[in-house]
Structure 1
Amino acid sequence: MKSPAELDTVPWQNLDHAYGPAEDVPELIRSLYRDDEEAADAAIHELYGNIHHQGTVYPASAPSVPFLAHAARHIPGRRTKLLMLLATLADHDRSDSESAHWPDSSVAEVCAELCRVLPELLPCLSDGERPVRRAALRVVGAVAELFPTGLRAQVEHQVARLHVDDPVPAVRADALVVLDRMGREALPLDSPFPEVRMAAATLLAERCGPPYPAELIEVLGDDGAEPDPGDDDFPWAGTSDPDSHLTGLLAEDPDAALAVAARWIEAGDLGSRGSWLAREITEVWRDREPEVLELLVTALSHQRDTAARARVLGFISRWADRLPNPGDRLRDTLYDCARTEPETARPALLALVRCRDPRALAPVLRRPDAEAVRAAALSFPEAAGELVSVIRRELAAGATGNAAAALITALEPLGTLARQARPELVECLRTRRAAVPAARQLGLGGILTDEVGTALREADESSDASLRASAAVALFRLSGDAAPALRTFRELLSAAQGPVHWHLDRLQPLGSAAAPLLPLIEPMRAARYEWTRVTSAEAHYWITGSAESAVAVLTELVGPSPVGLRALKALASIGRTPEELRPALRAFAFSPLRLLGATPFSECHEDEELRALAWRLLGAGTDHGGHSLANSPASGAGVRAGSRASTRTRP
């Protein structure tokens, strides 16, 4: 260890941290010793931001370790925080230490320094304060596989004694984790302490992998229902927090996760642990929504916290339309929540609409919420006239932002009745309230009046590139005159105003009329940015009708990613299934795991679209592998969800 008196012996000006030269580090470390709690806390916070920044350490990090260790030993009131900072600095993937870059890496230097000062930190394992002992165990665990032989025996003896004798079960459990990292094999699932049993079960899950043995599931189900209130303050190296780590492990085995989530929910869903685990299952695995939503309905009966209930209801609303036949229990629960709980009425009503329950229509019409109205336009097309009236009223009353955009988008599936909203759309365009969707919807209205034409031409002169493009396309749709649109898109594509792929994406309605733009578009098929390549290939096909060059570009981009999904959509619209893609399509169609994660604010899960498109491209009947396509999970609700893709915003 090194005292503050030695800080000036380090050439900090020649060492970098996250924000450049580390000349500020000495003063931050000196602040730790001052009798100023606020300044010391601010210094620790700043050290977390510069010598450690978002999981990365720097050349200045390792030289800081001996000084931080000295501070941890000599400043009892800040010992826990400083020990946790040391453990965080040494955080690494244990497989990294076998790689060629490890000896020269900053994290390897941090770990080496921590191993050197560790003998002087070992007294912290016997500290009278529980948080200090827990933090000290994190420090030991961070470098447990790197100890030299002599130090290993000394550390193992002290940690083993904590595991056997410490009066606090949580400390015994922490000691078990460290012993496991040091190579101990024993995992006492029969310990008298639930904290130790939980630690042992989690370690066993890490070690054996799925499917998990029944004994392990039993322990996790019985002992994991109530979280340790102090665990969040002591994450282990390599984990953001204990709950997330355990949830991630369980989600690898969906049957085990469902069983454990059911036990935790039955025990009261304390801290929303059971409902959180249940939700994670649907993010990792396909076709588990019926089981998960059934669990979440049960969880609602235990939730007393309004925010927690709202989160559960929001999740139910996200997946409700994936159920071909939502059960009475689910629909009745949602109806009761929407009717009797003002704080959670909004997500409950939205979920009820997506369950296609006719009881939802009256409250949507009476107290319109923009998202619920948009969902109702898809779920209740028979109520198109009433919904158009509501949308017009809300737009006329001054709806703005996302609410206005959702209301305007709701008009699209309502057919010719949507044309009644033309005056409100013109006003939205003039006042720039959700102007882009307003321009797009006006273009679908079929009639070019003087009022509409004036509003669109004014929008086409806007400084907003997206609005210009949308207005130009709308004018072309209504007038058939391509000249103004060609002028606008030539400027947008030449000047690269905004993301180019957004502008290319809007060219489809122009079709062959956009041929004068081909000299700008053709080179983009070889662009470095994948979104530009995929949208330029589509645009080339729309303009020329020639599929060959587009299919070649799109085939190369297909994959389980947002841009790969877009390429797949383009191939589906072209109607071509390249033979070399069939193995990938079968993987997309038949994988039990989700291959794409959810996109924030997306109306449907992109993985559902990926699977539906894969089935579509493989064709009806059977695919080349002999798998039946008739009963595809994507043939029902998944296809319905995929059909809403046009309302989604891409990156």
Structure 2
Amino acid sequence: MNLDGIDWRRLKHAYGRATAIPRLLREAASDDAGQAGEAVERLESVLWETEEAMVYSASPTVVPFLAELAAAPRTHHRPRLLRLMFDIADAVWELEEIAALGGDSDLLNFPAQLEWARAARTAVQAQAPTLARLLEDGDPEVRAEAARILARFPGHGSDPLPALQDRAAREEDVGTAASMILSVGELARRRRQRPVAWLRERLRAARAREVRVAAGVALARCGAGLDDAACEAIGAELRAERSALDDQPWTSSQGRAEFLLSALSDDADTHLAVAVQALRTTDSAERLKALPLAGEVMLTWRAGPQTLLPSLVELCADPEASVRIAATRQIVQGGPRIADVADRLAELLDDPEAEVSGNAAWALSLVGDARAIPTVTAELAEPRLPIPIGRALEGLRGAAQELIPHVAAYLRAPRQNPQLPGDTLIGVLIGLRSWGPRALPLLPELIGVLERGTAVPACAWTLGTLGSAAAAAVPHLRGLLEPDADPIARDAAAWALWQITGDAEEPLRVLGEGLKGGLSDHAVELLCGLGDRAAPVVKLIRRHLKSSLYGTGAACALYRITGDAERTLPRLIEGVEATPVGMLAVQCLGDIGPAAAPALAAIEEIATSPRVLATRIEKDLIATDLAYRDMAVAAAERIRR
């Protein structure tokens, strides 16, 4: 290596001047594997920063030496050197995205960072001839790593695709053959003419499952449809305990299952077909592995529950209790479509396994199925099943009249569920918020909870949802406004008083400073609900309109309080997204009507997306997402009028 002709003092790595780089490169070439490994590890840390995907001015200069070392058969740790080349060159993508958005970045010296990353990519491209020769290397890991780099960085002049196809067809190592085929798919997906026939032949003729899987994934990446054989192979791969694809270049950073699901085309039908195939096995261990993967797919695509719930409920007949438990855990996430399999779930209410029967009752309660009521009332009397009883009560709000005597008894003598974390009483109180006026017969018991001083904030929030009908609670709530009271309880009591009395003066003495500091999502929701009764805080809210953090919420609240569309419309349009406050903005825009037309594209994306757009922090994710979809559909219709 001709290292002495470079002025390393003028170059920088992660920790300063790059003067140590020549020594590290020479040590990486050492016959001593331990010394070489330490040098490679040090090179990895100084040339590429993992968290920010950053490179440095020395990185492009080092690339030819890394390639030279990787090409020498006597060098230790050659696959790691090739991975480092890949990572150095790959840093450019994130920086290019930032540049396309105007170059706004927290990175120091962003223009220089982008220049170094582009130079690093060019330096790797220049090594295409060396990488092509490494496809014939004696080490299968080296062959696989070289193929991955060629797939992302196609080189100068010559097209690496024919060489990759030829080498993959001759490759005898199963994992490397699969990795090479994935590289073919990665390279070909950017082209108009794609080797679909060649990939289908690999899918048909290959004996190894992993090679067939790689061909199926490559076909999906190329936009070609997958037949049942491809879906079956990928489903089997997702269930497999071990695979030759494990620790291959394409899967090592994410893990095999996550890579396969993310690498399949951005198409709901493909993911769902693979998930269904993954569940079709008679082996209990494989079913247990497939179930959470199917659940993940169901939470990703809006068509997921309709497609997957029938397959999931079939597994509830499995003789293995662990499979039935795992299946019902996924079913409770299914949203309104749970109703489609309600009869099968009702059969599980008598399952000898407590978690199975509990999950079945929970799922039925979420869709308001009255067959869950006996289990829920029994849980209120003596909690023993792992059912979040508050969520169950929320789903069964339509049966409030039948449940009220049991809830009242529980509120008078609350019991903690030993099967679940968190305070059961708080969960019950949260669940009752969705009942609205239906919970009014529970007013004496709710006041009793306040008087006992347990779960006070949660109880105050629930009382607030009853509005003026909860006037009997006002003296008790006022007693919580004392300066020495718990601050969380004070805030909750102040909001509840505002909702019950409509008078802002007393609550604002408690809430004013907090509202000056910012607007939580919950505060925005409450202010929108108060409408013109929140007029005393208009000036305070206006100061948040220009805030990047609180502007959308401020616009929603101001529009609901004042009806001022002219002032709030720009921020409402900007704030459209599938989040609680973003959807409040969507509803406001729908009420504004045709003047909100600039927001239509963003609203229609929420209405028509095949993906679940609600974030994973939302409870009942699928039900929440469907509610967002319906809100967007209704708003778009009103805007078009």
Length-normalised TM-score, structure 2: 0.74
Matched position secondary structure for 1:171: helix
How far has the Cα of 1:284 moved from its partner? 4.9
Write the distance in 1 (CA, Å) between the matches of 2:327 and 2:117: 40
Task: Indicate yes or no: 2:325 matched with 1:328.
Answer: no
Instruction: Identify the residue that residue 567 of structure 1 maps to in structure 2.
Output: 585
Q: Is contact 2:519-2:553 (8 Å) kept?
A: no
Q: Does the 8 Å CA contact 1:370/1:407 hold for their aligned counterparts?
A: no
Aligned to 2:538: 518
Aligned to 2:105: none
Structure 2: how far apart are the matches of 1:576 and 1:428?
44
Summarize the Cα distance change of 1:425–1:539 in structure 2 as closer, same or farther, 3 Å threshold: same
Write the distance in 1 (CA, Å) between the matches of 2:24 and 2:49: 14
Q: Does 1:422 align with 2:419?
A: no
Which whole-Å CA distance do the structure 1 matches of 2:69 and 2:558 have between them?
65
The alignment of Structure 1 onto Structure 2 pairs a total of residues equal to 592
> Is residue 460–residue 496 contact of structure 2 (8 Å, CA) maintained in 1?
yes
Q: Deviations over 1:486-518 (max 9, x none)?
A: 233332233x1x556654544356655544433
Whole-angstrom CA distance in 2 between matches of 1:303 and 1:78: 49
Partner residue in 2 for 1:236: 250
The reply to whether residue 264 of structure 1 matches residue 262 of structure 2 is no
2:616 and 2:279 map into 1 onto residues whose CA distance is 27
How many angstroms apart in 1 are the aligned matches of 2:335 and 2:82? 46
Instruction: Give yes or no for contact 2:544–2:554 (8 Å, CA) kept in 1.
Output: yes
Supply the distance in 2 between the matched residues of 1:178 and 1:62 (Cα, whole angstroms): 24
* Kept after mapping to 2: 8 A contact 1:436/1:470: yes
Q: For the residues of structure 1 that align with 2:350 and 2:471, how far apart are their CA atoms?
A: 39
In structure 2, relative to structure 1, the CA distance for the partners of 1:45 and 1:328 (3 Å cut) is: farther
Q: How does 1:555-634 map to 2 (within 5 A)?
A: 556-557=573-574, 559-562=576-579, 563-570=581-588, 575-578=591-594, 580-581=596-597, 587=604, 591=608, 593-594=610-611, 596-605=613-622, 606-617=624-635
Cα offsets for 1:67-103 (capped at 9, x unmatched):
5556655786634344333333333799999999999
User: Is this contact kept in 1: 2:394–2:432, CA < 8 A?
Assistant: yes
Structure 2 residue 190 is matched with structure 1 residue 190: no
Q: Deviations over 1:400-451 (max 9, x none)?
A: 857554232023226024330334345556xxx6x64343234455324765
Name whichever of 22-31 and 124-133 sits farther off.
22-31
Distance 2:41 2:320 in 1: 37
Q: Distance in 2 between matches of 1:202 and 1:564?
A: 35
SS of equivalent to 2:544: helix
Q: In structure 1, how many angstroms separate the alpha carbons of the residues matched to 2:490 and 2:395?
A: 29
User: 2:515 matched to which residue of 1?
Assistant: 493
Q: Matches of 2:558 and 2:36 in 1, distance apart?
A: 61
- Say yes or no: does 1:353 pair with 2:395: no
Matched, 1:387 2:402: no
What amino acid maps onto 2:514 in structure 1? L
CA distance 1:25–1:502, shift in 2 (3 Å)? farther
Q: Distance in 1 between the 2:138 and 2:186 partners? A: 24
Contact 1:225 1:273 in 2 (8 A): no
Structure 1: which amino acid aligns with 2:306? P
Q: 1:370-421 CA distances to partner (integer Å, 9 max, x unpaired)?
A: 7233323432422222134335544789998575542320232260243303
Partner of 1:91: 90
Aligned-pair CA distance for 1:608 = 1.2
Give 1:113's aligned residue: 123
Distance 1:121 1:362, change over 3 A: same
Report the identity percentage.
22
CA 1:427/1:66 → structure 2, altered by over 3 Å: closer, same or farther?
farther
CA distance in 2, matches of 1:30, 1:331: 70
- With over 3 angstroms needed to count, the CA separation of the structure-2 counterparts of 1:24 and 1:507, relative to structure 1, is farther
1:291 and 2:307 aligned: yes
1:225 counterpart SS class: helix
State the secondary structure of the residue aligned to 1:612. Answer: helix
- The residue number in structure 2 matching 1:80 is 79
> Which residue in the other structure is 2:107 paired with?
none
2:492 alignment partner in structure 1:
470
2: CA distance between counterparts of 1:512 and 1:223? 57
Q: Deviation of residue 340 (structure 1)? A: 1.0
- What whole-Å deviation, never above 9, does each CA across 1:238-288 have from its counterpart, x for those lacking one? 984554454346564444444443333223583767545644554454345
Seen in structure 2, the aligned counterparts of structure 1 residues 579 and 393 have a Cα distance that, compared at 3 Å, is same
1:439 alignment partner, one of 455, 460, 477: 460
The separation in 2 between residues aligned to 1:588 and 1:176, in whole angstroms, is 34
Contact 1:504 1:535 in 2 (8 A): yes
- How far residue 568 of structure 1 moved from its aligned partner, in angstroms, is 1.9
Runs (5+) with no aligned partner, structure 2? 101-110, 189-193
CA spacing shift, 1:410–1:392, aligned 2, 3 Å: farther
Which residue matches 1:199?
Answer: 214
Which deviates the most, 381-390 or 273-282? 273-282
Deviation at 1:125, TM superposition (A): 4.3
The worse-fitting range, judged by mean Cα deviation, of 102-111 and 22-31 is 22-31
Per-residue deviation, 1:473: 1.9
Aligned with 1:410 (options 431, 434, 449): 431
Q: Deviations over 1:306-335 (max 9, x none)?
A: 5x8766433311224334443422443575
Structure 1 residues 504 and 129 mapped into 2: Cα distance closer, same or farther (>3 Å)? same
Between the aligned partners of 2:392 and 2:613, the Cα distance in structure 1 is 23
- Distance change >3 Å, CA 437–CA 576, structure 1 → 2: farther
CA separation of 1:256 and 1:174: change in aligned 2, threshold 3 A: closer
For 2:76 and 2:412, locate their aligned partners in 1 and report how far apart those are by CA, in whole Å: 63
| Deviations 1:92-132 (CA, angstroms, capped at 9, x unpaired) | 79999999999964443233333445656667545555444
Indicate the RMSD between aligned Cα atoms, in angstroms: 4.9
Deviation at 1:567, TM superposition (A): 0.6
Letter in 2 for 1:90: A
> Which range is displaced more, 311-320 or 396-405?
396-405
Tell me if the contact between 1:377 and 1:411 (Cα under 8 Å) persists in the aligned partners: yes
Amino acid at match of 1:559: V
Q: Secondary structure at the match of 1:286?
A: coil
Q: Which residue of 2 aligns with 1:57?
A: 54
SS in 2 for 1:600: coil
Q: Does 1:137 align with 2:154?
A: no
CA distance in 1, matches of 2:186, 2:359: 44
Q: Is the 8 A contact 1:261 1:277 kept in 2?
A: yes
Amino acid in structure 1 at the alignment position of 2:314? T
Correspondence for 1:628 = none
Compared with structure 1, are the counterparts of its residues 319 and 237 closer, same or farther at alpha carbon in structure 2 (3 Å cutoff)? closer
How far did 1:363 drift?
A: 5.3
Task: Note closer, same or farther for the CA distance 1:266–1:501 as it changes in structure 2 (3 Å cut).
Answer: closer
Is the partner of 2:231 in helix, strand or coil?
Answer: helix
- Displacement of 1:610 in angstroms is 2.2
Q: Structure 1: which 5+ residue stretches go unaligned?
A: 626-651
Q: Partners in 1 of 2:287 and 2:324 — Cα distance?
A: 12
Partner SS for 2:610: coil
Say which of 166, 171, 183 aligns to 2:176.
171
Map residues 14-93 of structure 1 onto 2, 5 A cutoff. Answer: 15=12, 17=14, 44=41, 47=44, 51-54=48-51, 56-59=53-56, 60-66=58-64, 68-69=66-67, 72=70, 78-91=77-90
**Deviation at residue 294 of structure 1 after TM alignment:** 0.9
C-alpha offsets along residues 340-394 of structure 1, whole Å, 9 cap, x if unaligned?
155x666555324325233532553332557233323432422222134335544
Q: Does 1:455 align with 2:480?
A: yes
